[in-house]
Amino acid sequence: MWSFDSISFFLVFLGLPLALFLTLVIWPFLQAAFYSFTNWGGFSQEFDIVGFDNYVRLVQDGTFLTALVNNVKLAIVIPLVTLVIALIFATLVTVGGRGIGQTVGVKNSGFYRVVSFFPYVIPAVVTAVIFMKVFDPSDGLLNRLLPAAFEQNWLGSVSTAMPASMVVIVWAGVGFYMLLFIAAIKSIPAEVYEAARLDGAGRLRTLWSVTLPSIRETVQTAWIYIGIAALDAFVFMHILNNSGGPDNSTLVMPQYLFRLAFSQNQFGYASAVGVAMAVVTLVFAALVFTINRLSGGSTRSS
């Protein structure tokens, strides 16, 4: 039983990852939780335990609440829009082709599949910088293309800054989730589609009644991943509107955390913001699981 083989196997494949996980994930996690109860300034060994003061301040902090609401907006809109577009594209290049004969994607689907993945290959930082130029009110590509009456100060006015930022995040994300869905759709047996078609189902009907139920688990996974990304969104927001946008309309929680910790040296309070972010993230995931179960999906694998 306890041969060298099995012991070394446990050490390398269980012990090592567990040790790394404990020191690099769990330990900082606990530390952050601890510091959230202090007034640590970040540069000395000295701090006072202040109990729940940071959390009391947190719920009264208007800027934090603005950031929280912005993150919630992102967590609602970004997954919905991105995944709907990704699913439509994925359907088109896999099963959306001609209505007779073998089930195939639209013409040149191989080309579209590669091209639509391009945005995901570009680092988020670069994407954000490019779009910042595109949205420039004086010389930006977008305003140059639009008729004068539709020109906007895209990232500079309260009404457009958030939607414009969302467009960038969606643009960057669609390719990856499309790939994810393509892989899932490919695993659905072709006979199911053929049967549906023989029964007279059109493309929309097929999407709704065949594709979607078959890849339900994948959609849920995707939803959680992109939701977590939207609850962060730091890279995009920090570059598109470094200071939080007009009237803080694009300020997100990590940006606020960053500001508190690294420009105001309030590491204790910043840790409390971090803990709050973690709680929000877990609540989001719990919501997605619950909704999926209530709407009839099963997450049990047995």
Residues between 15 and 44 that touch another protein (CB under 8 A)? 24-26, 28-29, 31-33, 35, 40-44
Instruction: Please list every residue from 160 through 199 that binds another protein, using CB under 8 A.
Output: 161
Query: Smaller CB distance to another protein: residue 124 or 251?
Result: 251
**Smallest distance, Å, CB 300 to another protein?**
8
The nearer residue to another protein, 95 or 251, going by C-beta atoms, is 251
Are 232 and 256 spatial neighbours (Cβ–Cβ below 8 Å)? Answer: no
- When the beta carbons of 92 and 251 are compared against another protein, the nearer one is 251
Cβ contacts of 274 within 8 Å, gap of 6 or more? 32, 36, 257
Report yes or no: 297 and 219 within 8 Å, Cβ to Cβ: no
299 touches another protein (CB under 8 A): yes
Q: Is residue 290 at the binding interface for another protein, with CB under 8 A as the rule?
A: no
Nearer to another protein, 46 or 191 (CB): 46
If one asks whether residue 3 binds another protein (CB under 8 A), the answer comes out as no
Q: Which is nearer to another protein, 194 or 247 (CB)?
A: 247
Judged by CB under 8 A, does residue 228 bind another protein? yes
Q: Using CB under 8 A, which residues numbered 105 to 144 contact another protein?
A: 132-133, 135-139
Site for another protein in 63-92 (CB under 8 A): 63
Binding window for another protein (CB under 8 A); candidates: 5-13, 101-109, 116-124, 275-283? 275-283
